[in-house]
Amino acid sequence: MTLSILKERKDQVVERINGNETVSCSRESLAGAVSQRACVFCGSRVVLYPIADALHLIHGPIGCAAYTWDIRGALSSGPELHRLSFSTDLRERDIIFGGEKKLEAALDELITRHNPKAAFVYSTCIVGIIGDDLGAVCRKMTELKKIPVIPVQSEGFKGSKREGYFAACKAMFTLVGTGKPENISPVSVNILGDFNLAGEIWIIRDYLKKMGVEVVANITGDGRVDDIRRCHGAALNLVQCSGATLDLAKMMKEKFNIPFLRVSYLGIEDMAESLYIVADHFSHIDKDIEEKTRQLVKTELEQIMPEIKKIREELNGKKAAIYVGGAFKAFSLVKAFRRIGMSVVLVGSQTGTDEDYRELAKITDPGTVIVDDSNPRELSDFIVKKGVDVFVGGVKERPIAYKLGVAFCDHNHERKIALEGFTGMLNFAREIHNSVTSPVWKFHPARLSRVEEKSSEVCCG
């Protein structure tokens, strides 16, 4: 079959041969493409909104707020102000005369009513064009209301999600260092880059607690403003994922000299490795920490391995495709799939960097297709060509997978089962197992034809 790759995209798609391939990336999407990419605002919103006791006000027309209302359902153990949707709902006259007055009034009213610990004000495309001075309004309201009112410069057209992460980090960084870092253990960390969509951060905190590590701030899942204000008192930053919060860690390193480690909580290897490097980091202070960590990993593994082994037997040789927002998640998923006996034949991300793709080329098997900023046409062609059994992606990819008779695992939205930690690996294995082995596929016309092809092969052979 002929694959529909746009000519201009040829170097954004490569097939792994020897592990030295590079993928052209960080490009603007081609105008007219059915791009799966989101915008700067989306990136900022995703990172900041789990801060549960802050007010999140979207300055713009209603749509930007409507589509992101509780879009990922980040969980909080306390206040849930973040799960409401606040918008200045800019109208035509605001576009003409400016929206600053309206923004001020909205902030005034909301802060009085909800008493948040801080307020984030998100800029959208149109605010960038009409030229509202977000910074000035925020400064004024900070003074008036005696809480930090922080502008997030997230005009959508200024790039993709990644620029949005950066804007979010800049906004959060204005809080860091404004609280008192007292009574914090020398064995302490901040958890960066987990959003607690399904209680993941509670799992990780539990592991760290068992190791004797204090968590100062969750950034941002189940996050609290006051924790972030004093998080410069932590001894170490743990940064998860493709750098949604990496910039913040870098800023904190520069200003407060706090080192950071990049970790991943997905899959057994990466989870255990992440805990071990934390233990290693603190071993000069707490000499038992390494032993405690080994014990923890051992106990956890004993609980999950028997079932994982069984699942592995049944999934052996099946094929997976991965298309996720950030490439770092893809690394872990490649390994996690290997763990349950499956090979990854297609892997891609919306926002991977050059470095990310080099790494992907290294860890994948020969023949694996690696793509940057793909589109539905391309993805579906590869899925069919490669005979994929399960596809891991976001909401927009789900119906495509189902139409093609391919099982699907949503690794982003709409999930209430944690996939992180050791428990998460078991959940992941179960979910993949369930969706791959579900009896419904036997009705699926695509599967029927696959079976037919196979049996005809046998006949001819």
Partner 1 sequence: MLHHTPDEISERHALKVNPAKTCQPIGAMYAALGVHGCLPHSHGSQGCCSYHRSHLTRHYKEPVMASTSSFTEGASVFGGGPNLRQSLKTIFQVYNPDIVAVHTTCLSETIGDDLPSIIKSAVEDKTVPEGKHVIHCNTPSYVGSHVTGYSNMAAGIVKCLCEKDETESKRINVIPGFTDPSDMRKIKGMLKEMKADFIMFPDTSGVLDTPQTAEYKMYPDGGAKISDIMRAGGSSLSLCLGKWSSEAAGVELEKKCSVPFRVLDLPIGVLATDRFVEAVSQELGLPVPKSIRDERGKLVDMLTDYQQYLYKKKVAIFGDPDTVIPMTEFLLSAGMMPKHIITGTPGKAFEKRIDSMMKEHGHDYEYNCSNSADLFYLHQLIKKEPVDLLIGNTYGKYIAAEENIPFVRFGFPILDRVGHSHFPKAGYMGGMHFISGVINTLLDKMDRETPEDMTMELVA
Query: Residues 192, 245: contact at Cβ < 8 Å?
Result: yes
58: three-class secondary structure by DSSP: strand
Convert residues 254-273 into a mask of x (bound to ligand SF4 by CB under 6 A) and - (unbound): --------------------
Query: Residues 140, 219: contact at Cβ < 8 Å?
Result: no
Total number of residues that touch partner 1 (CB under 8 A): 84
Q: Which range of residues in 56-64, 69-77, 196-204, 309-317 is near ligand SF4 by CB under 6 A?
A: 56-64
Q: Please, which of residues 107-146 interact with partner 1 by CB under 8 A?
A: 109-110, 113-114, 124-126, 128-130
Query: Residues 361, 20: contact at Cβ < 8 Å?
Result: yes
Half-sphere exposure of 314 (CA within 13 A, CB side): 13
The entry of partner 1, ligand SF4, none that residue 445 binds, CB within 5 to 8 Å by partner kind = partner 1
C-alpha–C-alpha distance, residues 139 and 131, integer Å:
16
Convert residues 13-32 into a mask of x (bound to partner 1 by CB under 8 A) and - (unbound): ---------------xxxxx
Query: Residues 224, 118: contact at Cβ < 8 Å?
Result: no
At 93, give phi and psi (nearest 5°). -70, -30
Convert residues 155-194 into a mask of x (bound to partner 1 by CB under 8 A) and - (unbound): -xxxxx----------------------------------
Query: Residues 151, 134: contact at Cβ < 8 Å?
Result: yes
Q: Which is nearer to partner 1, 91 or 253 (CB)?
A: 91
Q: Which is nearer to partner 1, 274 or 412 (CB)?
A: 412
C-alpha–C-alpha distance, residues 312 and 322, integer Å:
19
- Of the candidates 428, 432, 420, 416, the residue with the CA atom closest to the CA atom of residue 72: 416
C-alpha–C-alpha distance, residues 432 and 337, integer Å:
9
39 contributes a contact to ligand SF4 by CB under 6 A:
yes
Q: Which range of residues in 9-17, 60-68, 204-212, 330-338 is near ligand SF4 by CB under 6 A?
A: 60-68
89 contributes a contact to partner 1 by CB under 8 A:
yes
11 contributes a contact to partner 1 by CB under 8 A:
no
Q: Is the torsion defined by CA of 190, 353, 41, 136 positive or negative?
A: positive
376 contributes a contact to partner 1 by CB under 8 A:
yes
As measured in angstroms, the least distance from the Cβ of 62 to ligand SF4 is 6
The entry of ligand SF4, partner 1, none that residue 34 binds, CB within 5 to 8 Å by partner kind = partner 1
As measured in angstroms, the least distance from the Cβ of 174 to partner 1 is 23
Residue sitting closest to ligand SF4 (CB): 156
Within 10 angstroms of residue 149's Cβ, the number of other Cβ atoms is: 24
> What spatial distance separates the first Cα and last Cα of the chain, rounded to whole Å?
23
Q: Please, which of residues 58-77 interact with partner 1 by CB under 8 A?
A: 60-69
C-alpha–C-alpha distance, residues 137 and 455, integer Å:
70
Q: Please, which of residues 405-424 interact with partner 1 by CB under 8 A?
A: 405, 414
Within 10 angstroms of residue 285's Cβ, the number of other Cβ atoms is: 12
The entry of ligand SF4, partner 1, none that residue 130 binds, CB within 5 to 8 Å by partner kind = partner 1
| Torsion, Cα of 203, 207, 212, 218 (10° steps) | -40
The entry of partner 1, ligand SF4, none that residue 319 binds, CB within 5 to 8 Å by partner kind = none
Over its C-alpha atoms, the chain yields an Rg (Å, rounded) of 23
Phi-psi region of 259 (alpha: psi -120 to 50; beta: other; left: phi over 0): beta
Convert residues 426-455 into a mask of x (bound to partner 1 by CB under 8 A) and - (unbound): -----------------xxxxxxx------
Q: Pick from 16, 47, 94, 386: which binds partner 1 (CB under 8 A)? A: 94
Q: Pick from 41, 391, 408, 422: which binds ligand SF4 (CB under 6 A)? A: 41
Q: Report the interface residues with ligand SF4, using CB under 6 A.
A: 39, 41-42, 60-64, 124-125, 156
